[in-house]
């Protein structure tokens, strides 16, 4: 080393540190590169994407060339600094110990941590250009890489470790859901909402989105023909269930358009109505919503009657109900019922019906009522109180204070909700009654 001036040795040290940092930043940026983002860049013909994809397709060789280069350079740095210290201060244990400490500091700071932090922060910006250097370097060092990998493969075989066990990177539903939630400004809020709702369809059953039995508009054949005609003329639905005497005795489903001609002609009898009915389509209450959407498509149906395990009618679900779960509520010509607007007033309160679905209240009012039990607000209140409350009772469920305004026929009819001060974090909190 005496033949080289100190300035040349310092320049050589800086070059070695830079090259070692290059391999460190290459390793981190290549491994941190998003594989799905890379596929998109590859489809767009982005410069460097093809080289990066080819390198990541043979990860063992990529890591081998990076680590071989990195370790050889680090060994060279250690030898150079030690030689410089010995030439300058003599050959003794203290000089070697200090030189070792300096080498460790230089490598950790300039060749390891700093480059790797940069590579992890900007993987795409760094990995694609670096791939143009790594690919030809892999060709040049291939004999050495092959030789080293020969021993690596032997050790892995002895340890019975299969390197291809993981296969191709795949995302499950939860991972996809997390990606959508974290998409931020890359995706409009409405698009994110629709995608999240699609993931949730697997968890929702038809009894979560159906119109409860008490709210079903249906035609009773035992009514007078004139009364039935008036009901049809004023109905805001295109399809109505038709029953006789008891709503569990459903005869069929009537399409209003088919009944229009008979109404106009005035030829309206019970037999005429029965002849216009379609066969009722019954489904179990526990049917998953996504599965029911497929059933609607396969059976060419738009309305189904929901029954429990005993065959009792529980409610009614339509294709529109399921679509609303995915893309939000439709604007229809049906009148909005009093108390079902689900909007907070200026004083932080709102009036809702006891039969309002908890899912609707959570979604539209930002509440956190538990969904693993009763489906309606009335059911939730009765479940918590284990009794039928009188008007004027106040309670608090899931951080939402409420006052029961009207109870009739053993059912909570109207409730005033008070907007929580902060969003509830634990749905299903114990109820507090006053």
Q: What is the pLDDT of residues 50-80, one digit of tens each?
A: 999 889 888 888 999 999 999 999 999 999 9
Sheet with 394-397, strands from edge to edge, namely 349-353, 411-418, 400-408, 394-397, 432-433
Residues 104-147: tens digit of each pLDDT = 999 999 999 999 999 999 998 999 999 999 999 999 988 888 98
How long a stretch of residues is the chain? 434
Per-residue pLDDT band at 338 (split at 50, 70, 90): very low
Q: Are 284 and 314 in contact (CB under 8 A)?
A: no
Residues 213-254: tens digit of each pLDDT = 888 889 998 888 888 888 888 888 888 999 988 889 999 999
370 and 309 within one domain: no
Output the domain CATH number for residue 310.
3.10.580.10
Output the domain CATH number for residue 421.
3.30.465.10
% of the chain residues with pLDDT over 70? 89
Q: What is residue 121's predicted lDDT score, i.e. its pLDDT?
A: 93
315 and 215 within one domain: yes
Residue carrying structure tokens 């409860």:
212
353 and 322 within one domain: no
Residues 304-315: tens digit of each pLDDT = 999 988 889 999
Q: What is the pTM of this model?
A: 0.59
Q: What is residue 332's predicted lDDT score, i.e. its pLDDT?
A: 53
Q: Is residue 103 part of a domain?
A: yes
Q: What is residue 432's predicted lDDT score, i.e. its pLDDT?
A: 46
Q: What is residue 156's predicted lDDT score, i.e. its pLDDT?
A: 84
362 and 322 within one domain: no
15 and 154 within one domain: yes
104 and 55 within one domain: yes
Provide the strand spans (E) within 22-124: none
Per-residue pLDDT band at 36 (split at 50, 70, 90): confident
How far is 33 from 127, CA to CA, in rounded Å? 7
Q: Is residue 176 part of a domain?
A: no
Give the residue numbers spanning the domain of 247.
Answer: 206-327
Decide if pLDDT at 15 tops 90: yes
Q: Are 313 and 213 in contact (CB under 8 A)?
A: yes
Q: Is residue 170 part of a domain?
A: no
Instruction: Report the domain count for the chain.
Output: 3
Sheet with 239-244, strands from edge to edge, namely 218-220, 239-244, 246-255
How far is 420 from 402, CA to CA, in rounded Å? 10
Q: Is residue 184 part of a domain?
A: no
- 11-25, 207-221, 385-399, 418-432: the lowest-pLDDT one: 418-432
Q: Is 106 exposed, middle or buried (0-12, 13-18, 19+ CB in 10 A)?
A: buried
Q: What is residue 336's predicted lDDT score, i.e. its pLDDT?
A: 44
254 and 386 within one domain: no
């Amino acid at each position: 080393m005496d033949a080289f001036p100190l300035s040349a040795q310092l320049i050589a040290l800086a070059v070695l540190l830079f090259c070692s940092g290059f391999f460190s930043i290459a390793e981190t940026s290549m491994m941190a590169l998003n594989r799905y983002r890379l596929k998109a860049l590859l489809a767009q013909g982005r410069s460097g994407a093809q080289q990066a994809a080819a390198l990541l397709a043979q990860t063992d060789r990529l890591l081998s060339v990076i680590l071989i280069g990195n370790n050889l350079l680090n060994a060279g740095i250690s030898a150079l600094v030690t030689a410089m210290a010995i030439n300058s201060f003599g050959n003794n244990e203290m000089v070697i110990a200090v030189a070792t400490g300096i080498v460790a500091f230089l490598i950790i700071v300039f060749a390891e941590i700093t480059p790797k932090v940069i590579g992890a922060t900007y993987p795409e910006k760094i990995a694609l250009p670096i791939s143009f250097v790594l690919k030809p370097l892999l060709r040049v060092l291939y004999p050495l890489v092959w030789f080293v990998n020969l021993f690596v493969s032997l050790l892995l075989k002895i340890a019975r470790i299969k390197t291809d066990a993981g296969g191709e990177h795949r995302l499950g539903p939860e991972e996809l859901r997390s990606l959508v939630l974290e998409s931020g400004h890359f995706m409009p809020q409405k698009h994110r909402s629709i995608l999240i709702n699609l993931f949730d369809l697997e968890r929702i059953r038809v009894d979560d989105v159906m119109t409860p039995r008490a709210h079903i508009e249906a035609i009773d054949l035992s009514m007078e023909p004139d009364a039935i005609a008036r009901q049809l003329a004023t109905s805001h639905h295109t399809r109505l269930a038709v029953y006789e005497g008891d709503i569990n005795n459903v005869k069929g489903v009537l399409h209003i358009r088919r009944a229009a001609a008979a109404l106009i002609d005035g030829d309206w009898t019970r037999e005429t109505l029965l002849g216009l009915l379609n066969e009722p389509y019954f489904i179990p209450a526990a049917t998953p919503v996504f599965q029911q959407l497929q059933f609607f498509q396969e059976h060419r149906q738009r309305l189904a009657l929901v029954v429990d395990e005993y065959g009792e009618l529980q409610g009614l679900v339509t294709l529109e109900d399921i679509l609303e779960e995915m893309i939000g509520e439709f604007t229809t010509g049906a009148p909005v019922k009093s108390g079902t607007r689900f909007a907070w007033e200026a004083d932080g309160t709102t009036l809702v019906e006891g039969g309002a679905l908890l899912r609707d209240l959570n979604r539209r009012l930002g509440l956190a009522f538990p969904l693993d039990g009763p489906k309606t607000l009335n059911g939730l209140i009765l479940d918590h109180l284990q009794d039928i409350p009188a008007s004027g009772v106040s309670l608090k469920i899931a951080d939402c204070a409420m006052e029961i305004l009207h109870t009739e026929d053993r059912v909570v009819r109207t409730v005033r909700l008070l907007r929580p001060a902060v969003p509830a974090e634990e749905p299903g909190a114990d109820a507090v009654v006053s």
